[in-house]
A = this chain, B = another copy of it.
């Protein structure tokens, strides 16, 4: 399978997966069409068909897509046909929210290790996981071959931790720190900063 799929296509697949999973939960039908899916997501049907066509032929003319089958295929394509263990760095308010979030396990991920720098916090349990000192970060990452890490730490700590994680072999970082981090090519980074997201909308609001 050729590996020149545009990033932007990969980025939409989880959205398709989410909508399809919800259709299964709703349970009122077993097939869907690119048009129906597109209407739910505000995406053109042509784009959905085009995106999927990068990976194979999953539908049938006249009837559309079998939802269960398409979900299965998307999971396979996105490597979600397994459970990914995740390390969380930072056990503040955000770390707590993430540690308690039930959506991870349900959708293919499991927070398995939690690190913090604060001596008061280290040793406590957070949703059944004992918080380790961040000094042990590389040791655990290497030993457990952790590939995915979530950073819920202040901006000043983010780049240093990213460097250490990359060095220890991590391949994907989801960071909540409000700062751009620099990693070598091939290492994946996703950013989540609520303020940046709000700032993307105020342009369109009346400054009354």
Contact = CB atoms under 8 A, between A and B. Distances in A.
**Copies of this protein, total:** 2
Contact of A79 (B18, B107, B203): B203
A29 interface: no
A107 B199 contact: yes
Contact of A198 (B96, B97, B109, B206): B109
Contact of A201 (B15, B41, B94, B148): B148
Q: Which of A14, A171, A179 has the most CB of B within 10 A?
A: A14
13 contacts: A10-B203, A13-B203, A14-B196, A79-B202, A93-B96, A93-B97, A96-B96, A101-B194, A103-B195, A104-B194, A148-B202, A188-B204, A192-B192
Interface of A: 10-11, 13-15, 17-19, 22, 40-42, 77-82, 84, 86, 92-94, 96-98, 100-101, 103-104, 107-109, 145, 147-148, 150, 155, 171-172, 174, 178-180, 182, 186, 188, 190, 192-208
